[in-house]
Amino acid sequence: MNPQEQQFEQLIEGILTNGYAICDDFLTQDEVENLLKTFALRYQTGQFKQAGIGKLSHVQQDTSIRGDEILWLNANSEDAAERVLLDKNQAFVNYLNQTCYLGIVDTEIHFAKYSIGKFYRRHRDTFQAQKGRVLSVIYYLNSNWIPQNGGNLVIYTHQNNLEEAVSIAPLAGRLVCFESQKLDHEVTEAFAERFSVTGWFLNR
């Protein structure tokens, strides 16, 4: 088993045990830095837009609930940094289908920027179009992140009928994944600019 497959197995074990999983250093420092350069270029050229809430046919913008700005990635992107990320993302999909038979047929993925003071209130990921979100994945790009910066991902789990809030810092290179349909989650207020790539694995 190669190092990447070991990371995949770690993630699968966490999902099966807790409904969520964390893998540090899934992206290397160089991969993070290259993605941030592409991120900055696309942001500076006005390619991002205010994120919305709701299903595709009823999307609305409400910054009292969700404050991030996003840019959907093209699955056929020729940008070198995006290509590395997309290929790693697809490798995880392929491994899940081969080992767990999840029947993932598609993915969707976007850059997300939280400016200072922005957040995303508690919610649960939902169906998009005719395909269902099976797993949510988040790749973090925040170097030198400290607790005072806030911006944690909080996942709400249930053990023995008791709710537990699991707070996860958005550290550079970290990948978090969780069951889209089962777990509520939120992003707490960011006190520094916060960068990530968020995606979903879809079945029919």
In the chain, the largest separation of any two C-alpha atoms, in whole Å, equals: 49
Q: What is the pLDDT of residue 53?
A: 81
pLDDT category of residue 63 using cuts at 50, 70 and 90 = confident
Rounded distance between C-alpha atoms, residue 13 and residue 9, angstroms: 6
Q: Tens digit of pLDDT for each residue in 109-138? A: 999 999 999 999 999 987 554 468 999 999
Of 20-24, 25-29, 62-66, 184-188, the range with the lowest mean pLDDT is 62-66
CATH of 3-203, one of 2.60.120.620, 3.40.50.2000, 1.10.3470.10, 2.60.120.200: 2.60.120.620
Distance CA 198, CA 108 (A): 8
- In this prediction the pTM is 0.94
pLDDT score recorded for residue 200: 96
Q: Flag whether pLDDT at 185 surpasses 80.
A: yes
Domain boundaries, the chain: 3-203
More confident residue, 62 or 78: 78
> Can you tell me which residue has the tokens 């939902």?
126
Q: Judge whether 111 and 70 are in contact, CB under 8 Å.
A: yes
pLDDT in tens, 123-182: 998 755 446 899 999 999 999 999 999 999 999 999 888 999 999 999 999 999 999 989
> Which tokens in the block code for residue 98?
């081969």
pLDDT score for 40: 98
Query: Residue 74: is its pLDDT beyond 80?
Result: yes
